[in-house]
Amino acid sequence: MTASPPTPNQTDRLRPIWHVRPGRGWLNDPNGLARVDGRYHVFFQHHPESVDHHQIHWGHASSTDLLRWTDEPITLTPRPDGLDALGCWSGCLVVDDGVPTLVYSAISVPGGSADVVLARGDRELRRFVADEHATVPMPRLPGVTDVRDPFVFTAEGRRWGVQGAGAPDGRPQLLLWQCDDLTDWQPRGVLLDDSDPVLAEVARANIWECPNLVRIGGRWLLVLSLWRSVEGGHDLHGVRWVLGDLVPEGDALRFVAERGGVVDDGPTFYAPQLLVDPDAGRVLMWGWAAERGRSPEQVAEQGWQGVLTCPRELDVVDGELVQQPAVELLGLRAGELDGSELAPAHSFEVEAVGPGALLLGGEELVTWGAGARVLVDGSLVEVFHADGRTTTTRGYPGDDAGWEVIGSGHRLHRLRPPAAG
């Protein structure tokens, strides 16, 4: 039985005011990131009538400037007798011969079985029609019980698809497909598995989820989310990045890793998706920030669960992944805050001169060194350290728990989206 969310209080102090987050219900993975005709589109896993992960739809928001977001109509809805009867799970968006096309995991039976289904849309990305058949049925492979999260990329002049795969009691791998014709995916074996020594060290898991593979800084960047079995269930064990090369191997490719690390060292960051934004000459990333330490009763009362992070610009510097807030987010600054105004503030930025910490109700939540930027929006906290690392966490202010910043020097900025028009 899933909990139905009440109509939320729009002045809810916990609710982010400029991050992507629908008015009510469940949210998890960002999906289908795209920039089409100058407009950014962010889709996401969503249930509009429940605060639980159940009967997953695709929600949608769009923006021209990454500051002001428009809530768009629900994009995909599970079809009771269709391939996605139990959920329209994660995937990506491809503009295929001018047609925006969603490539997603369709779930029709309990468990890990997933088919790849296509849904084609109009140029405004507001109406999509999903196929009645699977483009890629659930593969039957030794040691693989779970396959999910298709991601499409171009390399060596060809179009390819990858899927995360593995088994709760097995080992992870990425399946590779050639899909120059988006309706005809040809199997090309395994792109990589944990026999690669770099992956074995930095990305230990039973199933790799939400694979992303993009060209950045002259190298290939692979991002993986880690699903691990634990006693009595499973753990979403963070996100890893790996730099390497794509090497032709017959009619396939092989990813050869060089080095890797942690994408975000906070406790609430998972399932990011990357967007190559050639018009701006950059790669952007959004992630899912789950609730933390909230009881089912608290979540039901607030009427919503989960939020997307801010858009982050990615780069590779000296062989390391570095992140910073998208430059547009400087446009959120709406004057400086006095320290006495901070405790009840809804959204603010700390521009750190020296080391410092954010306290909530007198308890230390996060720390940073000189040069960091800290973005707080409702209950979401994102720390961008000077060395390019990030820390994402959640904090829940209330009447008896306000914000406080301590440290050896900082400026405080009030944050809010600019007025429309």
Residue-wise pLDDT for 256-276, tens only, equals 999 999 999 999 999 999 999
pTM across the whole model = 0.95
| Mean of all residue pLDDT scores within the chain | 94
Confidence label for 135 from pLDDT (cuts 50, 70 and 90): very high
Confidence label for 1 from pLDDT (cuts 50, 70 and 90): very low
Residue-wise pLDDT for 151-200, tens only, equals 999 998 999 999 999 999 999 999 999 999 999 999 999 999 999 999 99
Q: Is 209 exposed, middle or buried (0-12, 13-18, 19+ CB in 10 A)?
A: buried
Report CA dihedral (43, 46, 49, 52) to the nearest 10 degrees: -160
The length of the chain in residues reads 421
Residue 323: HSE in the Cβ half-sphere, 13 Å Cα cutoff:
25
Beta-carbon count within 10 A of 261 CB:
15
Q: Look at the block and give the residue holding tokens 């483009």.
A: 135
* pLDDT value of residue 231: 85
Min mean pLDDT across 6-15, 157-166, 235-244 is at 6-15
Listing DSSP states for 170-216 in one string gives S--EEEEEE-SSTT-PEEEEEEEETTSHHHHHH---SEEEEEEEEEE
* pLDDT value of residue 411: 96
Residue 11 has pLDDT above 60, yes or no: no
Residue-wise pLDDT for 309-329, tens only, equals 999 999 999 999 999 999 999
Enumerate the CATH 2.115.10.20 domain ranges in the chain, comma separated.
25-325
Topology of 25-325 in CATH? Tachylectin-2; Chain A (2.115.10)
Residue 206 has pLDDT above 70, yes or no: yes
Residue 10 has pLDDT above 60, yes or no: no
Q: Look at the block and give the residue holding tokens 């120059």.
A: 180
Q: Which amino acid is at 375?
A: L
* pLDDT value of residue 7: 44
Listing DSSP states for 60-100 in one string gives EEEESSSSS-EEPPP-B---TTSTTTTEEEEEEEEEETTEE
What stretches of 196-292 adopt beta strand conformation (E)?
207-216, 219-230, 233-249, 252-262, 269-277, 282-289
* pLDDT value of residue 112: 60
